[in-house]
Amino acid sequence: SAVVARLSGASATAGYGRGFGREGSRFLYDLPVRPGPDPHISRYERYAGTLAALGFPAPGRGFLTPALPPEAAEEVRLFLTRRGLREGGYLFAFVGTSRAQAHKRWPLQRFLELARLARQRLGIPTVLGWGPEEAELVRAVPEEAHLHVSPDWKLPALLGAIAGAAVFAGADTGATHLAALVGVPPFAPGGQVLFTRVSESGALIALN
């Protein structure tokens, strides 16, 4: 990416400086940036720190409120209504990963176990979301009173359904980051499902 920036013809290029950039990329930037005192910060903090270091306004604090196209919002509303679900009253479990990151995918059977335990211990149903790589996988999942497989949603509708959830479960993938940004407590499960309750703050108490 540093080479592409250099070849772009831009009057000035900026990128991560020492300790933050990789493979000597800092030597190709006109403005090597240190977005924070320590490289061990989240990507979001890196981006915010980079903006600040370059003199741009930092992003606002707090969670983001998605502005959905009306048709996407209506699609989600109809899905929830037809299944007797209410906003803020379900677990959104996302089984999707990209093909290149398939090793991060939690086994489908574990998600089904999670849905069963969410009903038994938390008293909430589960919406099971998926991506293009899981179309065949979820086709055989039976619809039950506590388990609702989502349609083949485009990104705006998927975001709307995630934003309306009480809690979110998924792999280290884009949907999990979206949940965090809109204020839905996320967790990335692994191993056995051993959880007890939703805390007062809305976070799922979980041990894996």
Is 0.75 surpassed by the pTM of this model? no
Q: Hunting for tokens 């008293």 — which residue is that?
A: 123
Alpha helix segments (H runs only) across the chain: 2-7, 43-53, 70-82, 108-117, 135-139, 155-163, 174-181
CB contact burial 5-29 (16+ within 10 A = b; e otherwise)? beeeeeeebebbbeebbeeebbebb
Question: Which has more confidence, 76 or 122?
Answer: 76
C-beta separation of 173 from 104 below 8 A? yes
Please state whether beta strands 147-149 and 91-94 pair in parallel, antiparallel, or not at all (unpaired): unpaired
Average pLDDT over every residue of 72-99 = 94
In this structure, what token pair is assigned to residue 146? 């506590």
Count H helices, E strands: the chain?
7, 9
- Give residue 190's pLDDT band: very low, low, confident or very high (50, 70, 90): low
How is 34-58 classified by DSSP, letter by letter?
A: --SS-S-S-HHHHHHHHHHHTTPPP
Q: Could you give phi then psi for residue 170, rounded to 5 degrees?
A: -175, 170
pLDDT tens string 22-74: 888 999 999 999 998 888 888 778 888 999 999 998 777 788 888 999 999 99
* H or E element at residue 169: strand 167-170
pLDDT tens string 152-172: 999 999 999 999 999 999 988
pLDDT greater than 70 at residue 196: no
Q: Residue 170: helix, strand or coil by DSSP?
A: strand
